[in-house]
Structure 1
Amino acid sequence: MRLMIHPAARGGILTVVENYAASGFTDADTRFIQTYRDAGFLRRQLIFLQALAACLRAFVSGRASLAHIHAAARGSFWRKAMIARLAAAFRVPVIFHLHGSEMKLFYSQQPSWRRRLIGRVLTRASHVVVLSDSWADFVADVAPGARVTVVPNYVEVGPEAKPAVAPVEILFLGLVGPRKGTFDLLRAFAKARQDFPAMHLTIGGNGDIEEASRLIDELGLGDSVRMAGWVGPQEKHALLSKAAIYVLPSHNEGLPMSVLEAMSYGIATVTTRVGGLPEAITDGVDGLLIEPGDIDALRASIVDLCRDEEARKAIGQAARQRIVTHYSAEAALPRLAQLYESVTRDR
């Protein structure tokens, strides 16, 4: 029995795990154990204790052949480190799958003894999975003895978007707040409308909704920006199907699922040179890359794509092909299957 240990909170990790199931990678021999949900403090503690108990039962019974542990930064890392230590005590192979966009920042803020502990957690895992070469370099620095494999996130290749000619529909999906660059986007969008008024922005996601709404009012964008809140799969598909431009001006990322999803729809994407994004996107070919926090560059990129429909379409088509060849299930899952076989064979 393989254990798939993951948070059930809304976000990229849950999307990755759901994609495994949708693509048939997981089967009846896979048990999903949820370690975290969006809930109150006491409820969250109970959920984690239940997850620990479920893992312990699987380890003690001898039925667990592999623990695939999905972790992010901060509390997520320490919770998963406890499970990894428990698995090691019962000689169950551990794949420690790092997703956290803020892992580098988290590591840099720790005292030296905690940094050493992070390094030991990664070194003791049977294998560490990261999303890009840049993250592999990070793990090699903090845990030189760790065995690391790059397995990028992947998406199902969706239908091509069919946006209206006007207004140009711009889309943002993600946690609303400074880390994802939502406020940078609103300020850049306000400037861009002075050069190209025929554009509309939809922001989908939870987070700092009140602050975003306040900024929208302050910038006078009430007639051209829609706050959609958290969007489920059907509404997300509807939004992607009509988007002409996707923008994610993040300050920290791993390899965001939303960018890969937008690219799979053939949508021209503007994003930042952080995390694994520069490995996924070639600037000017299958997307546009800017530096995080550069509002003027963001404004210029949006305006350029709005004005040049042919360039927009060409970038979108190249992005879709990039997904097919590098970030589809067919491209990513064989690496993970090979890793599963390797760590269980060496048990």
Structure 2
Amino acid sequence: MKIWFIASINKNSAGGVNRSINSLAEGVKRAGHKVKIIYAGSPREENYLFFALKTGLIFLVNFFDRPDRIIARSTDGVFCALISKLFKLKTKVVLYNHGWEEKVFQIERRLPLSAVTNRTTWKSRIIRFPLLRLSLSLCSSCICGTLEEARWISRKHPFARKKLRVVPNGINLPEAPFWASQEEIPPSFLIVGSFTWKKNIEYGISLFTHILSYLPDARLFLVGTGSVPDSKQNLLSSLGDSLFIVEKESPDKISRWYETCPYLISTSRYEGGRSFSILEAQSYGLVVFATDIPSSRETISESHSGVLIGGVDLKQDAKKVLDLCNSPEEFKALSVRAFRNASRHKIDRQVNRLIRALVQYPQAHLS
């Protein structure tokens, strides 16, 4: 098959969407399919409406050399799907959803105004949301990153239930879990992510500050924060030499931090897919402390491969962390289970799921 991946993001983005699309595209290519990725070529093209119009035009220009499948993020392929429908073409457009905007808005409304940066605008609600629903209506199938997200969409838009497929994020797996074989387990904690309301790393930093009062030798490594806002300096300054910040890190080099820190703290309020940082950390045998949100429950709860925290009560959450730090036997057991869970998320397995979704259209199983 000839397959296009299209996404209104910069091709050099280190975010999860780009990582997921790139790894899937490479896997599909290895499986023998012809692959093309269309990115936003400029900041202007990252505007969802402009980019959707542009990709529709590209599709028309390539009318006689069109792809068999288009995998498009969010609303990026809506005009491609409309053109394919109008001309009754065989090209199928697959909606790639690792973060449903309507669901994100629902979560935003439950949070204080001060907690949400980049709040969904009224323009998005009157333009993007209808385009998103149109995309869902026109697409042949919709790829979701979590079971919970697929179930939410099926309740919100029952007409789309048969279109929904779940393809979680996939990772490259090391041969063995690094930390399961280490004799010394240093009190080093890793947080991966930027200062956004979704990642909520401020809570993770506050949690570490609480832990530090009991473990004075503990260290915190913040990786991929981007430029640290001035408003966060007071939060960080009290940690002194216990804090190490890496503002930018490429995905292919992040493994060194998984071999530096035996513990990952993930305090996200929302993840559209199963978190790359959690899965990758588990593949190295890290013990993960993650807030009790749907994507983390899917990654951790069923496999008992990490520790869920409430994300509200610092004292209670710190106790869970400290109890684990004081139990080497439990650490080893969790480390092995974490690796076993990560093994279920190998990229080749997710690529095979995607390819099946591209060629088959049975009813989705969301129970």
The answer, yes or no, to whether TM exceeds 0.5 is: yes
Secondary structure (helix, strand or coil) at the match of 1:209 reads coil
Q: CA 1:238/1:42 → structure 2, altered by over 3 Å: closer, same or farther?
A: same
Secondary structure (helix, strand or coil) at the match of 1:243 reads coil
What letter is aligned with 1:119?
R
Does 2:100 correspond to 1:95? no
Structure 1 unaligned spans of 5+: 72-76
Contact 1:185–1:295 (CA under 8 A) maintained in structure 2: no
- Please state how far the C-alpha of 1:98 moved relative to its aligned partner: 0.4
Contact 1:161–1:244 (CA under 8 A) maintained in structure 2: no
Does 2:22 correspond to 1:18? yes
The equivalent position to 1:215 in structure 2, one of 235, 241, 244, is 235
The equivalent position to 1:306 in structure 2, one of 301, 313, 325, is 325
- Aligned runs of 1:336-347 on 2, under 5 Å? 336-342=354-360
Does 2:156 correspond to 1:156? no
What letter is aligned with 1:35?
A
CA distance in 2, matches of 1:101, 1:228: 29
Contact 1:119–1:142 (CA under 8 A) maintained in structure 2: no
CA distance in 1, matches of 2:219, 2:139: 47
Q: CA 1:31/1:134 → structure 2, altered by over 3 Å: closer, same or farther?
A: same
Secondary structure (helix, strand or coil) at the match of 1:153 reads coil
Does 2:58 correspond to 1:61? no
CA distance in 2, matches of 1:87, 1:309: 58
Specify the alignment match of 2:263 in structure 1. 245
- Please state how far the C-alpha of 1:136 moved relative to its aligned partner: 1.1
Q: CA 1:235/1:193 → structure 2, altered by over 3 Å: closer, same or farther?
A: same
- Please state how far the C-alpha of 1:97 moved relative to its aligned partner: 1.1
CA distance in 1, matches of 2:47, 2:292: 36
Secondary structure (helix, strand or coil) at the match of 2:293 reads coil
The equivalent position to 1:191 in structure 2, one of 210, 229, 232, is 210
Q: Deviations over 1:127-150 (max 9, x none)?
A: 011122211111112221111111
Secondary structure (helix, strand or coil) at the match of 1:231 reads coil
Specify the alignment match of 2:139 in structure 1. 125
Secondary structure (helix, strand or coil) at the match of 1:281 reads helix
Q: CA 1:25/1:319 → structure 2, altered by over 3 Å: closer, same or farther?
A: farther
Q: Deviations over 1:232-279 (max 9, x none)?
A: 134301111222001111011122111111111111101122232211
CA distance in 1, matches of 2:279, 2:304: 15
Q: CA 1:164/1:229 → structure 2, altered by over 3 Å: closer, same or farther?
A: farther
Structure 2 unaligned spans of 5+: 110-119, 362-367
Secondary structure (helix, strand or coil) at the match of 2:158 reads coil
Contact 2:14–2:251 (CA under 8 A) maintained in structure 1: no
Secondary structure (helix, strand or coil) at the match of 2:213 reads helix
Secondary structure (helix, strand or coil) at the match of 1:149 reads strand
Contact 1:131–1:150 (CA under 8 A) maintained in structure 2: yes
Q: Deviations over 1:159-195 (max 9, x none)?
A: 5334683642211112233321211011111111111
Contact 1:246–1:269 (CA under 8 A) maintained in structure 2: yes
Contact 1:172–1:204 (CA under 8 A) maintained in structure 2: yes
Deviates more, 1:299-308 or 1:237-246: 299-308
CA distance in 2, matches of 1:33, 1:305: 45
CA distance in 1, matches of 2:127, 2:218: 51
- Aligned runs of 1:263-342 on 2, under 5 Å? 263-282=282-301, 285-324=304-343, 326-342=344-360
What letter is aligned with 2:148?
S
Specify the alignment match of 1:228 in structure 2. 246
Secondary structure (helix, strand or coil) at the match of 2:289 reads strand
Specify the alignment match of 1:5 in structure 2. 6
Q: CA 1:134/1:261 → structure 2, altered by over 3 Å: closer, same or farther?
A: same
Q: CA 1:314/1:166 → structure 2, altered by over 3 Å: closer, same or farther?
A: closer
- Please state how far the C-alpha of 1:89 moved relative to its aligned partner: 3.7
What letter is aligned with 1:132?
T
Does 2:52 correspond to 1:32? no
Identity of aligned residues (%): 21
What letter is aligned with 1:100?
G
Q: CA 1:305/1:83 → structure 2, altered by over 3 Å: closer, same or farther?
A: farther
Contact 2:14–2:250 (CA under 8 A) maintained in structure 1: no
Does 2:88 correspond to 1:85? no
CA distance in 2, matches of 1:250, 1:333: 26
Secondary structure (helix, strand or coil) at the match of 2:149 reads helix
Specify the alignment match of 1:74 in structure 2. none
CA distance in 2, matches of 1:5, 1:258: 24
Contact 1:34–1:51 (CA under 8 A) maintained in structure 2: no
What letter is aligned with 1:195?
Y
Q: CA 1:157/1:144 → structure 2, altered by over 3 Å: closer, same or farther?
A: same
- Please state how far the C-alpha of 1:284 moved relative to its aligned partner: 8.7
